[in-house]
Amino acid sequence: MKESVDLSKRMFLKTLGSIGGGIALFSTMPWLKSCTPEKLAEIGADKARVALIGCGSRGQYHLTMLRGIPHAQVVALCDPYKTNLRAASAMVPGAKLFDDYRKLLEHKDIDGVIIATPLGSHAPITLDALSSGKHVFCEKAMALTMEQCKAVYDAYTHTDRVLYFCMQRMYDPKYIEGVKKIREGLVGEVVGMRCHWFRNADWRRPVPDPSLERSINWRLYKEHSAGLMTELACHQLEVCNWTIDKMPSEIMGLGDIVYWKDGREVYDSVNVTYRYSDGRKICYESLISNKYNGMEDQILGKKGTVDLTRGVYYLEEDNEFSGIRQLLAQLRDKTFATIPAAGPSWRPELRNPYLPHPIVTGPVSVNAGQSMVAAENDGSDLILSAFCQSCITGEKAERVVEEAYCATLLCLLANMAMEEKRLIHFPDEYKIPYMKF
């Protein structure tokens, strides 16, 4: 595993170097400044002593990554569910074991904690950990409620401790290069964004005892979960805001339990529209009873479309040329019957294939969106490595907390819009200086 993480890091540094832009790149994506070879060299042989709170599937995934990060040492594990704690302990046999995170936070030989617990506990554990003097890495989303999000953000602005949220697309080379190209005008003016995430699974896990139903299947119940929006949409909404450097001001949507009528409390189907002050929109859709469309993060420009999920872009002019070639071929083969009188120039009535252009050179990992744990080479290992480095240097990653705050608020506001069946205006009390509307 050490070799795979090191290789991933080397590939990232190589890609980052090929992206170029120097000061200009770091001015728009300043969290990458700590990822340069020079910054990594500064930490030498030092190791961050980290503890994992929450040893379920995602927590164990983080342990797999941590074992391959040279500047990380896992010294403690915590989970009230003994089955998960035993499984994690087998992965790092020397770590101290806890069933109460508060006891873990009392130990002075821990530099930072990694929180991989259900959403409902993100904010309380984060606040307690910062208060105890620990650096913190927390899974997305930031918190279960808007009030908790604001409390975490305010605590962060008043501490010298490092805080990361796992917004891994900010560390994914195809997203970094794609956003850079969009801002440079690759597809012209951005006119809209379309994102979706489709799965076909009930989100349920086996429960050894009925008393554990709501804690093990926490994603299904409102005291622990905010459903599809925070579990899936959070990443995609962050990318949209990152791309155009603005926040939407209005939110509307519809949510329902369409298929999984099994006692769950969160929607299994959502459709949400976010409207920016200039009229541009994010159209978002997710359901978990059909996986045909998979996952896509599309940025639509006047001159083309960027599909960040697949690491490709398409140009409008390619499609027009394809239509002309089709017309000429039809005339040559004498299969063309009538020319549509729809305008001064010929356009195909059916959509012709667009030509894909790669965003980055070399192999690209494409996330089909089906895994509940992780996707290969999606930036999760790199942001975790960056956190461990920050535990050593004390250097905060600029904008990561703010991006997580903005994305989480948009998810929670969407749930409010769906539950109350009304148009929601972004509330003034949750605006922060980072936001642009």
How far is residue 323's CA from residue 200's CA, in Å, rounded to a whole number?
36
pLDDT at 39: 81
CB-based burial of residue 142 (10 Å sphere; 0-12 exposed, 13-18 middle, 19+ buried)? buried
The two tokens of residue 53 are: 């709170």
> What is the fold, at CATH topology level, of the domain defined by 2-170+377-397?
Rossmann fold (3.40.50)
* Close Cβ partners of 24 (under 8 Å, ≥ 6 residues apart): none
DSSP string, 133-169: T-EEEE-SSS-SSHHHHHHHHHHHHT-SS-EEE--GG
DSSP string, 67-136: TT-TTEEEEEEE-SSHHHHHHHHHHSTTSEEES-HHHHHT-TT--EEEE-S-GGGHHHHHHHHHHTT-EE
Instruction: Give the residue from 266, 265, 239 showing the smallest Cα distance to 367.
Output: 239
Domain segments of the chain as ranges: 2-170+377-397, 186-373+405-430
pLDDT at 199: 96
Per-residue pLDDT of the chain (437 residues; tens, 9 = 90+): 555 555 455 556 555 555 555 566 777 899 998 877 778 788 889 999 999 999 999 999 999 999 999 999 999 999 999 999 999 999 999 999 999 999 999 999 999 999 999 999 999 999 999 999 999 999 999 999 999 999 999 999 999 999 999 999 999 999 999 999 999 999 999 999 999 999 999 999 999 999 999 999 999 999 999 999 999 999 999 999 999 999 999 999 999 999 999 999 999 999 999 999 999 999 999 999 999 999 999 999 999 999 999 999 999 998 766 555 555 555 555 544 444 434 444 444 445 688 999 998 877 777 776 766 666 678 899 999 999 999 999 999 999 999 999 999 999 999 999 999 999 999 999 999 999 99
Instruction: Give the residue from 42, 156, 192 showing the smallest Cα distance to 399.
Output: 156
Predicted TM-score (pTM) of the model is 0.90
How far is residue 388's CA from residue 5's CA, in Å, rounded to a whole number?
14
At 378, is the secondary structure helix, strand, or coil?
coil
At 321, is the secondary structure helix, strand, or coil?
helix
pLDDT at 33: 85
How far is residue 110's CA from residue 48's CA, in Å, rounded to a whole number?
8
pLDDT at 44: 87
Span 186-373+405-430: which CATH code? 3.30.360.10
Give bridge partners of residue 136 from the DSSP assignment: 113, 163
The two tokens of residue 264 are: 């769950």
CB-based burial of residue 119 (10 Å sphere; 0-12 exposed, 13-18 middle, 19+ buried)? buried
CA dihedral over 330, 333, 335, 341, signed as positive or negative: positive
